[in-house]
Amino acid sequence: MPPPPRPPVAAPAPAAPCPIRVAPIRRRLHAVPRAVSVAASHAHDAAFLRRAADVADRSAGLTCPHPNFGCVIARPEPDGPEARVVGEGFLYAQGTRCAELLAAEEAGERARGATAYLNLEPGDCYGDSTAVSSLVQAGITRVVVGLRHPLKHLRGKAIQSLRSEGIQVDVVGEDLQSKLFKEALTSCLIVNAPLLYRAAFRVPFSVLKYAMTADGKIAASSGHASWVSGRASRGRVFELRGRSDAVIVGGNTVRRDDPRLTARHVKGHVPVRIVMSQTCNLPEEANLWNVHEAYTIVATQRGARRDFQKKLAMKGVEVVEFDMLNPRDVMSYCYDRGYLSVLWECGGTLSAAAISARVIHKVYAFCAPKIIGGVTAPTPVGDLGMNQMTQAIDLIDVSYEQIDRDMLMSGFIQPIPDLSPVIPSADEIPSDDPEVSPYETNIISFYKTWDTFGAFSNFSPHPIDMPDEKGDCLTWPTVEHYYQFLQAHKFVGVDNPQASDIVQEIKQARSPEEAARIGRTRQREFPELIRPDWESMKIDVMYRALKCKFSTYAHLTEMLLSTAGSVLVEASPHDLFWGGGREGEGLNYLGRLLMQLRSEILGTVRTSAEAQGQET
Ligand SMILES: NC(=O)C1=CN([C@@H]2O[C@H](COP(=O)(O)OP(=O)(O)OC[C@H]3O[C@@H](n4cnc5c(N)ncnc54)[C@H](OP(=O)(O)O)[C@@H]3O)[C@@H](O)[C@H]2O)C=CC1
Ligand SMILES: Nc1c(N[C@@H]2O[C@H](COP(=O)(O)O)[C@@H](O)[C@H]2O)[nH]c(=O)[nH]c1=O
């Protein structure tokens, strides 16, 4: 029976002015026999799915952790028994063009009749069907999905849409089952482990990393620890930091090591540094207080050394007080901030507390071929209250790797949660996850683009057409690009070559996160170049950009109107001007402007309805 006719689908978002260039791919052409037998076709599907998971991981360390999507399009060779990859793509960052669109663009006409392999079910911003429509318009006839989307409000949606377009969708574990698929599924689970832990346990994925000698010490008895592991191992640690939203240490490590905790190997993502200190008895001067290198948060006990807290705040360090400072509450806090992945680089005192609180999911132990001895020399994990070896925690899925002279052993403390058994029935409409919002029910909060109302974020992948400094209309990939550009443009009034370089840099930023980072960094570096009237202009600039975004995308206007009666809050815990803050202490200007826009649109809708009523 021929497939039912396809209803019209939304066109992919307009091309961005600075298209994301997919890094050249080392082609391992998967020469696999054509589907002469079920076993051969399974081998072929599993290989391409594993490849989709590998591709999905490409942005690691370059951008803020985000759900990792990869898409591989493969088709049989016209005259041979083999299938070949004709297009690949991955999501570079929040707010950038989706993997499916990039892969379909690369494949071009060769996508017709081909199969697309997706490590993860697409989960675009609400109302944005670019991933699905890219595959449909490219002429893909079959899609193989590794994992259903773990977030409840997105799970099953894209699969249902693809099927309703007449595309055959095979989901691993449901339609495809074999040992090979189990292995491919593991690759899909690993590449999105942070998202899965977050969805299942409502804490970020936490990795404990330490470097120890062959006799199990992380420092000499004096506390001196630089260095236990070799240069190559420490390079790997920079990579781990780049893959994390935050790096955590305890007060003692700050006092003893004066660490920097940056990912200084590449010009990519820089994690936030978090110090957990109950006493707040921390040095007056420390590398971590240099917030030009990276943002720093000190998490402390309520009331601890308030004068010192003020001094830290003056340096730009954020201080967060907890009623009882403990690893679980700090992880809940990181969850509220939208973090997916956290790296613990503390000593044994704090690591033991974190393991006991069951917030550590994976361990990376670098072991150097050295012996230091010392009965009191610190060890990686302090007291866990166990006194029988039978009580020891057995690591799961352990890997071993030699790094120069060191050995890296890694393994999971808790298995990666596989949420796929919770499959919505064919006619079930995926519901919003009420728990997504930490606010009251008549308050709708949004922050990360993958949240239910994530399309309200300025990072959402909705390009807008707005004039540049010369008045020429340009397409900006996101509102954030445009806003940061204009904010940087305030420098241009000053005749300074550095100023125009900044503007160009922002124009070409590959992601909204990068546009924001460049804008913030340059503002700190060149405060003298800032135009004094920017503060009075910025709200108006933002409003115009939002108006353009919502008038360009009808489904976004619909979504905005659907929130009538609710208070909109950008749940950014650190931007206290545009965001609402963690406990409502922020001014929430972004939320306010969206509500203003909503009233304006509602007013127009009502006026035109009234006018129509008068005519009839
Ligand atoms: N080789 C390696 O990989 C590493 C080595 N090291 C070495 O380890 C040594 C430091 O280890 P260690 O003393 O264990 O330091 P930690 O990094 O574990 O810091 C312990 C401190 O964490 C703070 N803390 C906050 N909340 C808690 C909590 N709920 N439970 C426990 N502690 C909490 C306290 O700070 P406060 O006292 O301020 O209240 C506490 O003193 C140093 O010699 C350092 O060089 C450290 C990291 C890695
Ligand atoms: N000594 C030691 C580590 N120590 C960790 O690294 C921190 C120093 O980071 P940075 O200042 O950015 O270089 C230090 O405070 C501690 O957390 N790490 C390792 O990979 N190997 C080592 O031998």
Which CATH number do you get for residue 71?
3.40.140.10
Contact residues for 261 (Cβ-Cβ < 8 A; gap 6+):
241, 247, 249, 271, 273, 288, 294, 345
Q: What is the mean pLDDT of the chain?
A: 86
The pLDDT assigned to 68 comes to 95
Three-class secondary structure of residue 12 per DSSP: coil
Q: For ligand 1, atom 8, which residue shows the shortest CA distance?
A: 347
Residue 424 has pLDDT above 90, yes or no: no
CB 217 within 8 A of CB 379: yes
Count of domains observed in the chain: 3
Cβ neighbours around 595 below 10 Å, total: 18
Place of tokens 């804490």: 203
* Cα distances (Å, whole numbers) of residue 291 to 260, 273, 574, 581, 588: 10, 10, 14, 20, 24
* Lowest model confidence (mean pLDDT) among 80-94, 238-252, 513-527, 564-578: 513-527
How many A from CA of 360 to the centre of ligand 2?
Answer: 19
CB 573 within 8 A of CB 337: yes
* Lowest model confidence (mean pLDDT) among 277-291, 396-410, 561-575: 561-575
Please indicate, yes or no, whether residues 135 and 216 belong to a single structural domain of this protein: no
Among candidate residues 193, 216, 237, the one where a domain is terminated:
193
Atom of ligand 2 nearest to the CA of 234: 20
* Lowest model confidence (mean pLDDT) among 97-111, 118-132, 209-223, 479-493: 479-493
Please indicate, yes or no, whether residues 156 and 229 belong to a single structural domain of this protein: no
Q: In 3D, which of 487, 577, 587, 575 has the Cα closest to residue 538?
A: 487
Q: Which of 217, 231, 237 to mutate to test the pocket of ligand 2 (most atoms within 8 A of CB)?
A: 237
How many A from CA of 253 to the centre of ligand 1?
Answer: 5
| Helix ranges, 509-579 (H) | 512-525, 534-552, 554-561
Among candidate residues 193, 216, 246, the one where a domain is terminated:
193
How many A from CA of 380 to the centre of ligand 1?
Answer: 10
Residue 546 to residue 31: CA distance in whole angstroms = 48
The pLDDT assigned to 18 comes to 34
Please indicate, yes or no, whether residues 489 and 400 belong to a single structural domain of this protein: no
Residue 10 has pLDDT above 90, yes or no: no
From the CA of 262, the nearest ligand is: 2
Amino acid at 194: P
Which CATH number do you get for residue 567?
1.10.357.40
Q: Which of 349, 367, 381 to mutate to test the pocket of ligand 1 (most atoms within 8 A of CB)?
A: 349
Instruction: Kindly give the interhelix angle for 99-107 and 130-138, rounded to the nearest 10 degrees.
Output: 20
pLDDT digits (tens, 9 = 90+) for 37-59: 667 788 889 999 999 999 999 99
Please indicate, yes or no, whether residues 63 and 152 belong to a single structural domain of this protein: yes
Q: For ligand 2, atom 7, which residue shows the shortest CA distance?
A: 259
Amino acid at 487: Q
The pLDDT assigned to 304 comes to 96
Whether the complex's predicted ipTM surpasses the cut of 0.95: yes
Q: In 3D, which of 86, 21, 88 has the Cα closest to residue 55?
A: 88
Catalytic positions are 100
The pLDDT assigned to 535 comes to 80
Q: For ligand 1, atom 1, which residue shows the shortest CA distance?
A: 218
Please indicate, yes or no, whether residues 150 and 41 belong to a single structural domain of this protein: yes
Atom of ligand 1 nearest to the CA of 212: 1
DSSP state of 241: H
The pLDDT assigned to 536 comes to 82
Please indicate, yes or no, whether residues 189 and 211 belong to a single structural domain of this protein: no
Three-class secondary structure of residue 263 per DSSP: coil
For 45, the token pair is 């599907």
Atom of ligand 2 nearest to the CA of 225: 1
Three-class secondary structure of residue 155 per DSSP: coil
CB 151 within 8 A of CB 199: yes
Place of tokens 């998490």: 299
Segment 343-353 shows an average pLDDT of 98
Contact residues of ligand 2, CB 6 A cut-off = 211, 225-229, 233-234, 237, 249, 253, 257, 259-262, 345, 366
Q: Identify the sign of the CA torsion 345, 350, 351, 357.
A: negative
Q: In 3D, which of 179, 182, 60, 51 has the Cα closest to residue 115?
A: 51
Please indicate, yes or no, whether residues 539 and 516 belong to a single structural domain of this protein: yes
How many A from CA of 175 to the centre of ligand 1?
Answer: 49
Please indicate, yes or no, whether residues 252 and 181 belong to a single structural domain of this protein: no
For 496, the token pair is 């300074």
Q: Which of 253, 257, 351, 366 to mutate to test the pocket of ligand 2 (most atoms within 8 A of CB)?
A: 257
Please indicate, yes or no, whether residues 236 and 117 belong to a single structural domain of this protein: no
Does 232 fall in a domain? yes
Amino acid at 471: G
Segment 325-330 shows an average pLDDT of 97
Residue 1 has pLDDT above 70, yes or no: no
Among candidate residues 193, 221, 243, the one where a domain is terminated:
193
Residue 193 has pLDDT above 80, yes or no: yes
The pLDDT assigned to 493 comes to 53
Contacts 24+ apart (CB under 8 A), 172-179: 172/49, 172/144, 172/145, 172/146, 172/147, 173/420, 174/420, 174/423, 176/42, 176/45, 176/144, 178/42, 178/46
Please indicate, yes or no, whether residues 211 and 251 belong to a single structural domain of this protein: yes
How many A from CA of 268 to the centre of ligand 1?
Answer: 28
How many A from CA of 322 to the centre of ligand 2?
Answer: 26
- Domain that includes residue 355, residue range: 202-384+393-412
Does 422 fall in a domain? no
Does 6 fall in a domain? no
Contact residues of ligand 1, CB 6 A cut-off = 210-211, 218-219, 223, 225, 228, 249-253, 256-257, 276-279, 281, 325-326, 345-350, 353, 378
How many A from CA of 228 to the centre of ligand 2?
Answer: 9
Does 13 fall in a domain? no
| Helix ranges, 193-246 (H) | 193-201, 231-242
Does 26 fall in a domain? no
Which CATH number do you get for residue 296?
3.40.430.10
Residue 401 has pLDDT above 80, yes or no: yes
Q: For ligand 2, atom 19, which residue shows the shortest CA distance?
A: 211
Q: For ligand 2, atom 15, which residue shows the shortest CA distance?
A: 259
Does 21 fall in a domain? no
Does 11 fall in a domain? no
How many A from CA of 252 to the centre of ligand 1?
Answer: 4
Q: Which of 213, 222, 229 to mutate to test the pocket of ligand 2 (most atoms within 8 A of CB)?
A: 229
Residue 15 has pLDDT above 70, yes or no: no
Q: What does residue 601 show for φ and ψ, rounded to 5 degrees? A: -65, -45
Does 16 fall in a domain? no
Please indicate, yes or no, whether residues 140 and 277 belong to a single structural domain of this protein: no
Please indicate, yes or no, whether residues 134 and 167 belong to a single structural domain of this protein: yes
Residue 361 to residue 414: CA distance in whole angstroms = 5
For 429, the token pair is 């409409």
